[in-house]
Amino acid sequence: MKFNTKTIHGGQEHDLAFGSVMPPIYQTSTYAQSTPGGHKGYEYSRTHNPTRHALEKAFASIENGNHGLAFASGLAAIDAILKLLQSGDEVISTNDLYGGTYRLFTKIYEDFGIKFHFIGMENAEHIEDYINENTKLIWVETPTNPMLNIIDIVTTAQIAKKHNVLLGVDNTFATPYLQQPLDLGADIVMHSATKYLGGHSDLVMGALVVKDNGLAERLYFIQNASGAVCGPQDAFLALRGIKTLHIRMQRHCENGKAVATYLVNHPKIENVYWPGLENHPNHEVAKSQMNDFGGMVSFTTKGNNYEEAIKIVENFKIFTLAESLGGVESLAGHPASMTHASIPKENREKTGIVDSLIRLSVGIEDETDLIADLKQAID
């Protein structure tokens, strides 16, 4: 089954009760039993829910995995991965990652005795310099948030397997439409399904997908024991969103290219970060592991002027100044004061998150309107 068909039919079956095409919303916390332990596969909705189960099968299908897990948020999904570890373990992570992930790592799990190494992974071979007998997880975002750096998943997976280390990949920016990390050697794929998988800015959710049965069992146990699951209404919305993922991502990519090209040629813009640009440091790696380059674009103004960046994001008419990304509408953010404010300024600036950096989530509106909005806001 091809990907565009998987988004609609992958892992799905018509409801057995009445044949409904869309899985019903099973808005229930518990299920009737004929005798203690005698049930139809569902006993309590923290553990299993038919609507969530349908979504988890869809997650697994579009990522070419065997097991999908749905969580209450992307951070809840990452939290479940970290609960595979114990005090004394070490994690190697990219130094350019979502501020919420950085906060979870440094403010929660460092206190539990887990050590984190935040390094540049643009040259994946450097990862091996940080591996020791305590290393248990390599955590990768690619493209990264917000600098759109590209990390070579195949090379990183080879290093992880050589040292018997788990490789987790945050695939939120790319989505499985553009990139399928499990096929490239990753052990775990994570999504903030709040973003492109949901696609309509109307839910908060996280997803994990794995192939290995034993790893899946450990994660299912953590999911149930910790209880950070999504509700059936959100599961239904995410299922609906996935059905149009392929056509939305096509337009996101088209508009992303148009916006990046416009910004590259604007005299007031200093740097443009988008993997599809030929001068992107890892453009060739992006070409090899992605089907297209996505709708996330970051840029800086000349002179690294904080006030000018704030003025631009405040003056947008179509781009909405807001947290998050991946919806049908175009959003703009100022990472240093919004999504990445939890990262110390000195650490931010080392990775390129300067005060003039603006991150765009380019939506699926008409590209001429988006370009016109950029022009009036910048000029």
Active-site residue, selected from the candidate residues 98, 102, 220, 262: 98
Token pair of 347 as six digits: 């650490």
State which H helix or E strand residue 156 sits in: helix 153-162
Closest CA to 207 of 195, 218, 215: 195
Backbone angles phi, psi at 212, to 5 degrees: -70, 130
46: annotated active-site residue = yes
Give the separation between CA 317 and CA 126, rounded to whole angstroms: 43
Give the separation between CA 333 and CA 314, rounded to whole angstroms: 10
Token pair of 315 as six digits: 């003056």
268: annotated active-site residue = no
Residues 282/284/286/292 CA torsion (nearest 10 deg): 130
195: annotated active-site residue = yes
Which position has the token pair 């189960």? 53
Active-site residue, selected from the candidate residues 79, 96, 152, 170: 170
Token pair of 331 as six digits: 């959003």
Give the separation between CA 13 and CA 60, rounded to whole angstroms: 14
Backbone angles phi, psi at 291, to 5 degrees: -85, -20
Q: Residue 232, preceding bond cis, omega within 30 degrees?
A: no
Active-site residue, selected from the candidate residues 31, 42, 46, 306: 46
Active-site residue, selected from the candidate residues 6, 52, 136, 195: 195
Active site residues: 46, 98, 170, 195
